[in-house]
Chains A and B, each alone.
Chain A
Amino acid sequence: MSNSILDIETALRLKGFYFRTPSKVKGYKAGIHKSYYNGISPDFLDHKEYNKGDELKQIDWRLYGRHDRLYVKKFEDEVNMRWCILIDKSASMGYGDNKSTKLNYAKKLSATLAYLLLKQGDSVGLLGFSENDVEFIPPRSGSSFITTILDRLESFKPSGTTGIKEPILKALEAYSSEASFVIVSDFLIELEAIEESLKLIRHSRKEVSLFHVLHPDEIDFDFRGSVEFQDMETNVKVIVDTGSIRHTYQKRIGEFIERLKLICHENETRYVFSPINKSIENSLIQIADK
């Protein structure tokens, strides 16, 4: 069951990649991320005068010979990272045919990312959200934790309207220290709300990456004839002549994507455009390092 949402092949292909944050983090376990804390590391950082309590093996005897004073060497430390994957499970994410819904894509992307993060030693938490429904799994490390994440992802069903502010606040509350947020959503809400949420996260000195999941129908609007559309979240109905409206619609959705990208750029947020016909690998690779 869990295997259905975890793309093992993608995960294996991305095995040589690391998901890093661009800034230093205060990790408490050894990992791949640069730490503010100095410790045992091959990378020499600085010297300082010996004080009582410093380890004798860290005294730089060569410097003592030249200056006749005791100095100890300081080294950079590499620590692990805490991640929070926020996944939109509102009704609009249920759009698509059977297995190829936006939510399924988001689940696969989240599961694969969580797998890779756990593999590189980071701790991963999960938060599924809609307007009035937030499900949170606190971050943990260790490969075995993937099972818990997969089980929880599997249980997510599309329902409710999209609301981003509340889940962000909840996540920030849970992640008081350094963390990196990954939000997977179709972002079919007001841009102002998205911008406000991103600012909240950035204010808390946390990294953010957005995976913008859309169905090709939403991008190309490849419908024929006169169709009565009903909004999946608000139930608003509208009858449109798809032929005559297509061009204008494409223009409108294009404008929305561009503005979302701009907001991300302004808030030092990584934006990844992830239509569900794009492979998970291609989406994830955009936030990975070799």
Chain B
Amino acid sequence: MNLSFLSPLFLIGLGALALPIIAHLISRKSGVKKSFPAVKFLISSQGDLATRSKIKDIILLILRGLILVLIVLVFAKPAVFSFSTVQENTPKSLAIVIDNSLSMGYDDNFSRALRKAQDLIDSLPEGSFALISPLVPNNEQEPFLSQDKTQLKKVIKGIKLSYSFTENDKRIEDIYSKLQNAPNEKKTVALITDLQKNGWENEEFLRSWLEVIDVSEGQEASNHAVSRTQLKYENGSIIIEATVSNFSSDSVQELLTRTRLGDEEIREFFDIGPEDKSAKKFNFSMDKRETPSYGSVETSQDKLKSDDVRHFIINDQDHFKILIVDGDPREDSRLSETYFLARALETISELSDTNISIIDNDSFLDEDMSVYSLIFLANIGEITPRIAKELEEFANNGGTTVIFLGNRVRAGSYNTLLKNILPGELQNLQENRLSLLPEDSDIFSKDINEKVEQVNIEKLFNFAPYPDSNILISTTNNKPFLVKKDHGNGSVFIFTSTADASWNNFPITPVFLPVIKKIHDLTYFAKSKRRNYLIDETVNIEILQDTESTIVIDPSGQEFKLSFGAPEFDNTQLPGIYSVEEKGENTYKFAVNIDPKESNLEKISIPTIESNTAQKGGLVKVFKEIWRYFLWGVVALFVSEAAFRAIFSQ
């Protein structure tokens, strides 16, 4: 509510306020002068009354001054006003866009925006059309033009606060385009917003048809939020690193933050400087958890509550296991076929917490391959049909097989038994001193490709790759050295030489570790299933059996059936934990969180807004005259003044 005057020129009359003051000062100096013989009695009498008289004078002065001020104000016609759309008699078409982005959840901004929208509807002239639309679109029906104010107000009531944001410029343009079919000539879009910066690409509001109404009333909002959670696995523990951001200009002291995982809860206090963030680690023991679980990080609530919690899912990456089959084991492990390979993988596993098992050829015959994600076969001489079949299944289920050759390998046996998974056909042995050359592939980095030339090959199998395979590294005489082939959900890599240094110097060059790590990572990330999403992201639901019987349950408990043949789920409008169920059984969960960008309540620069406000011709002030109350005030003051004088003159 703002105050204005309909006849402000009368305010000049406030100068009359000086009159009682001057009169008061004059009366203190002279008044009526008279010679009198008994002044000494007056002086002694006045002593008692001086204070009383002074108070009386001051009160009378104030009362008379107020009377004058109120009289002047009555003539100046004070009125309170609020901004509203043009109240012309000519009908118009108005689109009211209510900012329902997450930041509007701050304090009561959103409810104020709804009230403002109702006011705008009330102020529309007869014959006008309006449409109501949220700024962040939801799955409700499309906005429609209507003249029915009751219907429009019903639409306003139905608008819900979103947990997301949108591209504001584009959205407003879209809504304005919907007005084009409206019958009235004057078409305007009124955007009721908190002016939060996120979502605006172009901060210019200079559109002749756009009126911006700031519901935040210029107040500076302060907010903190859980902006990130990161999970690590170390020594049988899950370490959850929570980052809390402070988006205000004041520092935050001792902000209580609770991390919950299952039944366990760990509390920490954060001290965060202004416009800064702080991260702390919450360490949970893995012993108690047999299956992947979920949890949350939550801070003490502020005026924007929705970003004070962040959910996470414990991934099942701890199932990533590596099997190394050594076809030529030795007592002195340094002489073993897999010595360099095992050292490289041990180094890599320290980063990813993977489990490595090393077995010999005999043990391999009885090994269950399904528990592994990555299998290295180094100079394996004996391949049975059962092994070959299991390796094929392993590849079909997404496993990766890496084959190194050697003197125990029988090319014919490989070509026959592993025909379905091999990237090509093994041929004769070639003994020739060769160097390596990188192939044109985007798998290895430029750095690896440059160093590949340091590798010298003494002996290798000639290899004829199949058309569906990829040569990743070859020799200087154009013989394949590393070839890859995708099979089922997995893949097969084959090195045409040994894993040890007997046929080449590959394992002792700086290229070995990066190449092995790359193969490891490709498998690791292919196996790693995404479980954490942002609001409005589309989730590819992993279907184990069939789509028909798969449902997704959102945090509110609402169930969504997946469309046939399209295991995509895009109803991720609520933050929280979602469950995927197949045939009534929970298969896995995933977490949906809000985008921390919306937590920063920084506003669009004010000068831009002000310059636009000057141009927003469509908005007018709706006045409510209040001068009558001032008139009553004058009467009341006159009565008070008379009563006061009567009391004091007694």
Contacts and interface: CB of A to CB of B under 8 A. Distances in A.
A228 B39 contact: no
Contacts of A102: 37
Contacts, number: 94
- Residue in B29, B37, B41, B52 with the greatest tally of chain A CB atoms within 10 Å: B37
B639 interface: no
B20 to A, nearest CB: 14
B37 A215 contact: yes
Contacts of B30: 228, 239
Given A95-B36, A231-B36, A256-B41, A226 B27 contact: yes
Contacts of A218: 36-38
In this complex, the interface size class of chain A, counting residues with CB under 8 Å from chain B, is: 35 or more
Contacts of B525: none
Contacts of B46: 238, 240, 245, 248
A253 B27 CA distance: 26
Contacts of A95: 35-37
Contact of B45 (A91, A231, A233, A249): A249
Contacts of B171: none
- Residue in A102, A217, A230, A240 with the greatest tally of chain B CB atoms within 10 Å: A240
B253 interface: no
B585 interface: no
B45 A226 contact: no
B43 interface: yes
Given A243-B649, A244-B52, A230 B36 contact: yes
A193 interface: no
Chain B's interface: helix, strand, loop or mixed, by majority? Answer: helix
B36 A239 contact: no
A238 B44 CA distance: 11
B446 interface: no
Interface in B632-648: 648
A65 interface: no
Contact of B43 (A225, A228, A236): A236
A44 interface: no
B285 to A, nearest CB: 88
Interface string B25-62: 00111111111111111111110110011001000000
A285 interface: no
B49 A229 contact: no
A236 B46 CA distance: 14
Contact of B37 (A226, A232, A240): A232
Interface residues of B, number: 27
Contact of B32 (A225, A244, A253, A256): A225
B327 to A, nearest CB: 122
A248 B39 contact: no
Nearest to A92: B37
A245 B44 CA distance: 10
A97 to B, nearest CB: 12
A234 B649 contact: no
B32 A227 contact: yes
A244 B56 contact: yes
Contacts of B32: 225-228
A225 B39 contact: no
Given A226-B27, A239-B28, A244 B649 contact: yes
B53 A236 contact: no
- Residue in A232, A233, A243, A245 with the greatest tally of chain B CB atoms within 10 Å: A245
A157 interface: no
Interface in B321-369: none
Nearest to A162: B37
A215 B53 CA distance: 27
A268 interface: no
Given A234-B39, A238-B39, A241-B53, A229 B34 contact: yes
B42 A245 contact: yes
Contact of A240 (B33, B42, B648): B42
Interface in A69-107: 91-93, 95, 102
Contacts of B36: 95, 217-218, 229-232
Contacts of B45: 240, 245, 248-249, 251-252
Interface string A8-33: 00000000000000000000000000
B148 to A, nearest CB: 70
Given A236-B43, A243-B649, 7 more contacts: A92-B37, A95-B36, A218-B37, A226-B31, A227-B31, A229-B36, A241-B49
Interface of A: 91-93, 95, 102, 186, 188, 215, 217-218, 223, 225-234, 236, 238-241, 243-245, 248-249, 251-253, 256
7 residue pairs, one from A and one from B, having the closest CB atoms: A92-B37, A231-B39, A248-B45, A243-B649, A229-B36, A226-B31, A252-B41
16 contacts: A188-B37, A215-B37, A218-B38, A228-B31, A228-B34, A229-B39, A231-B35, A233-B37, A234-B39, A239-B29, A240-B45, A241-B56, A244-B56, A249-B45, A251-B45, A252-B41
